[in-house]
Amino acid sequence: MTQRTPNKTDIGLSDLLIALADLPWQTEAHKKAIFHALGFAWQDSKPDAIDSSSPRQIFDRNRYQQRPSIKSVSNTPPGFSPPPPPPVPIELPQLILNSQLKVLDAVPEEAPEWLNQDNVLLADEKPQVKAARANLFPNLTHRGILSAALRVQKRGKDVDIPRLIKHVTKGQIPKIVPTHTAVTLERGCQLLLDYSDSMVPFWEDLTALADQVQNVLGKERVKIYEFDQDPTAGQCWDNPLAAEPWRTDDTRPVLVASDLGINGGRVRWPVGATWRRFIVLCSQKQIPLIVLIPWRSAYWPEIHSSHPIMVHWNPHTTATMIKKRVGAGHQIQS
């Protein structure tokens, strides 16, 4: 072997040749095989050209100080790289081996048994249609009923000519041009739903009523509160994380669906204290109050107040009946 300096890390061709010459191969074929395995083309005279008796020397090929290698800095931004080179196709051997597979006999084509069965694809299965429910306010009439119950008066745009003439003939100049009143549903309403135990058979009607009111007035104009027996403790769950307690709002009417605590008794007893407080509260603030009751008037408790408009909540109620009670519309001051 050559004398190695401690810093020498490269193995040169001469080192390799000397090492090959020192190998104790036995035959020429053995020698050729090693050369061939290392990737050298074999020539007979080459191994013999290395004189083992000649002094072995080390040639410093690093005569000049080599410049430190500088990595080429690419201008590509980080994260980008050139696409990888296409894979080198594998050279297939020219020799083709004989296949061991045997050709099977042709199978007679018979339709499987399940193919002729009355199968149904999953995509063909129709979802089960839920039976229709007869709501207490039918779909055909609920628009008229709710519109009549919740309409509010407002100043119209049409000038009231007779009133204007009356002012002029008296020599008065009105500060505001008198106009005809119009009715509107744009105020919306507060909807209070009674989910107490006595209303259990009507819970689905309450849900349907909420949908109907939202359809008529618009979803953003209806504030839905739920309560159990005490309407003043109603809570709105628009935000599922925090319930909003009911407050009086004198800009919109209040629609309540409840049985007022009726439990099937025919005796007309005074309405409960919670309901009395609620009615008084709405009356003092002049908030229109409409109460839908799924019981006949014979069962209604005594209220001793003319403020709430009580409506029998059943399919036979019509918009005309409501209009007679409400009149030209609710009057809201603010």
The answer for residues whose C-beta is within 8 angstroms of residue 211's C-beta and 6 or more apart is: none
Out of 9, 13, 264, 273, the residue judged to bind another protein by CB under 8 A = 264
In whole angstroms, what separates CA 180 from the centre of its chain?
47
Out of 253, 255, 313, 329, the residue judged to bind another protein by CB under 8 A = 313
| Strand, helix or coil for residue 149 | helix
Contact pattern for another protein over residues 133 through 152, marking x by CB under 8 A = xx-x----------------
| Residue with Cβ nearer another protein (84 or 264) | 264
Stretch that binds another protein, among 92-100, 210-218, 247-255, 307-315 (CB under 8 A): 307-315
Q: How far is the CB of 128 from another protein (least distance, A)?
A: 13
Q: What residues between 20 and 79 interact with another protein by CB under 8 A?
A: none
Tell me how far apart the alpha carbons of residues 196 and 225 are, in angstroms, rounded to a whole number. 13
Q: How far is the CB of 316 from another protein (least distance, A)?
A: 9
Dihedral, 273, 278, 283, 284 alpha carbons, nearest 10 = 90
- 302 beta partners: 270
Tell me how far apart the alpha carbons of residues 270 and 272 are, in angstroms, rounded to a whole number. 6
Dihedral, 180, 185, 186, 190 alpha carbons, nearest 10 = 130
The dihedral sign for the CA sequence 5, 11, 12, 14: positive
**Strands 309-312, 222-227: pairing kind:** unpaired
Contact pattern for another protein over residues 183 through 222, marking x by CB under 8 A = ---------------x-xxxxxx-----------------
Q: How far is the CB of 217 from another protein (least distance, A)?
A: 23
Q: What residues between 282 and 301 interact with another protein by CB under 8 A?
A: 294-296, 299
Stretch that binds another protein, among 29-37, 57-65, 73-81, 308-316 (CB under 8 A): 308-316
Q: Kindly state the number of chain residues that form the binding site for another protein, as judged by CB under 8 A.
A: 22
